[in-house]
A and B are shown apart, each in its own frame.
Chain A
Amino acid sequence: MKKSVFLGALTVAGLVAGASAAATLDDVKARGKLNCGVSTGLAGFSAPDANGEWGGFDVAVCRAVAAAVLGDASAVEFVSTTGKTRFTALSSGEIDMLARNTTWTLSRDVDLKFTFTGVNYYDGQGFMVPKELGVSSAKELDGATVCIQTGTTTELNLADYFRKNGMSYEPVPIETNAEAQQQYLAGACDVYTTDASGLAATRATFETPADHVILPEIISKEPLGPLVRHGDDEWGDIVRWTLYALVAAEEMGITSTNVGDLSAAAGDNPEINRMLGTEGNLGEMLGLEADWAVNAISAGGNYGEIFAKNIGEETPIGLSRGLNAQWTDGGLMYSPPFR
């Protein structure tokens, strides 16, 4: 009799533990903080500044989501993850979302059970070499020693590229970008390969960036974006539409400076009104406050502002918009309608 009570209690405990997977939104609200996975430090994308404040292009997405959900852009707990630990951190629930230049691939979506909520940077894998090597094309890299971050798609792209071109190489697997940088600068590898944006960011932190060239070949498609776990579509929707709100805000000309005026009262543009919550109930549909998008945009500005501030041409990283321009400017940034 007693034993069966004990067994019953265990079964209940097992079921409770099993069922606590969904409802990330409630967890985040109850906690009052968003746990956001970022890199261990990649200038311009996610890196702590001198005061330990995280900043960067990916960090801005975390802050926008925190602002949309909790109304406070600083209510974010940043969890640094390596290329290797990021997926485990996300699927185990240690983090609520991952914004860490992660490439959207079929197997990650389907097999690893993650939902990519959009693309915040269209990238491709490139190569960086010291200028003194005199290499001008990736096709000349036969026999080179190549530093790669392990646990990334770059590892597989690299293998494919060298195989396709009948070249050999010596891979040097490395855990973090900082270690890769050290090995590359010491000459322990000839080439450093990762996403072209990451190369630009890394090069910007060198003492003499001009001594290194990024080769023209882009050997892969790397759509980078934030992702969440499978199985909680409501949460996925929130992250997705927060990202789209930033993109749409740029398209509609909403910036961090004029968002306050635009949201004070309903204006003439119904789509702006709907997005900023002065008309309709989009926020309610998402399970958020009506001013969710206002908060998200106020956090760091619209997509264009975030880009310009963290990685744009005015910054040391110096990336041009390229594919990441608005669709109206010939780029790929395109938000579905807010209605």
Chain B
Amino acid sequence: MTTLTDPPSESFRLSMLIYDTRYRAITFQIIALICFLLFFGWLISNTAQNLADLGKEPSFGFLMEPAGYDINQRLIDYNNQDSHLRAAFVGLLNTLLVAVLGCITATVIGVIVGVLRLSSNWLVARLMAVYVEMFRNVPVLMWIVLCMAILIESLPNPRAFRGENPEASMLLFDSVAITNRGVYIPEPLFSRSLGDIPVGNLFNISLDLIAILIVLAIGFYVSHRIKLKADATQEATGVRPKTWYMRLGVILVPLAALLVILGFHLGYPELSGFNFAGGTHLRNSLIALWLALSLYTAAFIAENVRAGILAISKGQTEAASALGLRPSITMRLVILPQALRVIIPPLISQYLNLTKNSSLAIAVGYMDITGTLMGITLNQTGRELETVLLGMLIYLAISLAISGAMNFYNSRVKLVER
């Protein structure tokens, strides 16, 4: 009974959408999609309806009104007469500052701890395990608050620096003051400054900084050329010419010359009035947040690094030692470069976590985007929906930018497969 006949060329009937396996999956997906969209539509219309009932139609006009409040740490000019938008921008820069600082330190600590955790030294390996487990298993908010409490309670008050026999004194030839309000360090000043160029109305870029960066870039480029030439000489003759002093010189000499031309000097912090004045003030809130976020995220990164190293076959280590490479060189030149391929993808999500965790900043009074836009601005204007949506969009943009950049880096280092 295996007579095969051509299937009758039936026309499409509506019931086939459910009874015909060719269409059923698509039908259900479309129904699910419609339900999903309707649900969101209902959520949005319900919100809009409730807001309209309260007489609070969404509007972003408040962003242009004067903010009226002050922000202690600001990387760009800001005073309380500037708009809420600018206050949010100040907060955004603070978020980015702590995120960038945090990511850098977390990576450095994380890589060191991850490598040390695999150390053959029993004590070091156990200590690192204790560190990782302690930081990984306690909420980061606790660490932030703890860091802040330690800074506030254990360090001397600026008042302690005053008087004939002060209880506390400044460090490093009276140039650094560590107080319970933060650390004051000397600031670079230029007596013959080139001035600033404004970028739109947003902020000014220091021409001095640009000049220094250009000189440094040229220095590094020339230094690189010298290295290439040395490599070529080594290829040709087998003798590597001594170039380190030349390479260092082309970077340092023009830089020093530029600094002299600009009239570089340091502004030292001094006691004046209630606080230290002058110098750069690294506030407690920044230090506590930075420290806590770095240590917390570093614990996770250490585990990623450990996993990455363990993922490299032991044969690689053995082959390297068979070639006579010392363990430190093996780690640096053989294991880590390969481990990076395993480490980078989870590292991206750690960076994202750190950035998002920085929104806990208000716990120590650090004015990030959550503290300004979604904190004080929300409160003074009562625009919950608008500010929170805007804040979410900003975090989304930052996170996508970080993961875009890291994915680019990942695609550069990952194994090229054929």
Contacts and interface: CB of A to CB of B under 8 A. Distances in A.
Judge: A and B partners, yes or no. Answer: yes
Interface of A: 6-7, 10, 13-15, 17-19, 21, 83-84, 87-88, 91, 107-108, 111-113, 132-133, 141-145, 150-152, 155-156, 158-160, 163, 169-175, 182-183, 186-190, 229-231
A144 B45 contact: no
Interface stretch (B98-106, B107-115, B231-239, B375-383): B375-383
A17 B46 contact: yes
Contacts of B42: 10, 13-14
23 contacts: A7-B38, A10-B38, A10-B42, A17-B46, A18-B50, A18-B53, A87-B379, A88-B384, A141-B274, A142-B273, A143-B273, A151-B379, A151-B380, A155-B380, A156-B69, A159-B69, A170-B181, A171-B72, A172-B365, A173-B367, A174-B365, A182-B152, A186-B153
A163 B68 CA distance: 11
Contact of A156 (B38, B285, B375, B380): B380
A229 B53 CA distance: 12
Contacts of A143: 272-275, 277
B53 A21 contact: yes
A183 B54 contact: no
Contacts of B275: 143-145, 170
Nearest to B55: A113
A173 B53 CA distance: 34
B316 interface: no
Given A18-B46, A183-B152, 18 more contacts: A14-B49, A19-B53, A21-B50, A113-B55, A113-B56, A113-B382, A141-B274, A145-B181, A151-B376, A151-B379, A155-B69, A159-B80, A160-B80, A172-B285, A175-B363, A187-B180, A190-B274, A231-B54
A84 B69 CA distance: 15
B378 to A, nearest CB: 8
A72 to B, nearest CB: 30
Contacts of B356: none
Nearest to A22: B53
B362 A150 contact: yes
Contacts of A91: 54, 382, 384
Interface string B348-378: 0000000000000011010100010001101
Contacts of B285: 172
B143 to A, nearest CB: 16
A104 to B, nearest CB: 15
Given A13-B42, A144-B274, A170 B68 contact: no
B10 to A, nearest CB: 26
B403 interface: no
A11 B72 CA distance: 48
Nearest to A21: B53
A22 to B, nearest CB: 9
B54 A84 contact: no
B55 A230 contact: yes
Interface of B: 38, 42, 45-46, 49-50, 53-56, 68-72, 80, 149, 152-153, 157, 159, 180-181, 272-275, 277, 284-285, 362-363, 365, 367, 371, 375-376, 378-382, 384
A188 to B, nearest CB: 5
A7 B34 CA distance: 11
B375 A151 contact: yes
A14 B362 contact: no
Given A21-B53, A171-B71, A186-B153, A155 B273 contact: no
A10 to B, nearest CB: 5
Nearest to A91: B54
A170 B273 CA distance: 12
Nearest to A16: B46
A18 B381 CA distance: 23
B152 A188 contact: yes
Contacts of B38: 6-7, 10
B289 to A, nearest CB: 13
A231 B56 CA distance: 12
A150 B375 contact: yes
Contacts of A88: 384
Contacts of A19: 53
Nearest to A158: B70
B371 A173 contact: yes
A217 to B, nearest CB: 17
A15 to B, nearest CB: 8
B162 to A, nearest CB: 11
Contact of B54 (A21, A159, A174): A21
A187 B180 CA distance: 8
B80 A188 contact: no
Nearest to B149: A182
Nearest to B157: A187
Given A111-B381, A159-B69, A186 B56 contact: no
A174 B361 CA distance: 11
B390 to A, nearest CB: 16
Contacts of B72: 170-173
Contacts of B371: 150, 173
Contacts of B181: 145, 170, 188-189
B68 A156 contact: yes
A25 to B, nearest CB: 18
A107 B66 CA distance: 14
A80 to B, nearest CB: 17
Contacts of A173: 72, 362, 365, 367, 371, 375-376
B277 A159 contact: no
Given A14-B45, A172-B72, A174-B365, A187 B54 contact: no
Nearest to A13: B42
Task: Pick from A19, A83, A143, A231 the residue with the most CB of B within 10 Å.
Answer: A143
A113 B153 contact: no
A262 to B, nearest CB: 41
B314 to A, nearest CB: 52
A184 to B, nearest CB: 10
Contact of B50 (A17, A132, A141, A155): A17
A335 to B, nearest CB: 30
B41 to A, nearest CB: 8
A281 B365 CA distance: 53
Given A88-B384, A143-B274, A231 B53 contact: yes
The 8 A-B residue pairs with the shortest CB-CB distance, nearest first, are: A151-B379, A112-B382, A143-B273, A187-B157, A18-B49, A159-B80, A144-B274, A173-B365
A322 to B, nearest CB: 28
A133 B363 CA distance: 28
A186 B152 contact: yes
A230 B54 contact: yes
Nearest to A157: B68
Contacts of A13: 42
Nearest to A10: B42
A163 B80 contact: yes
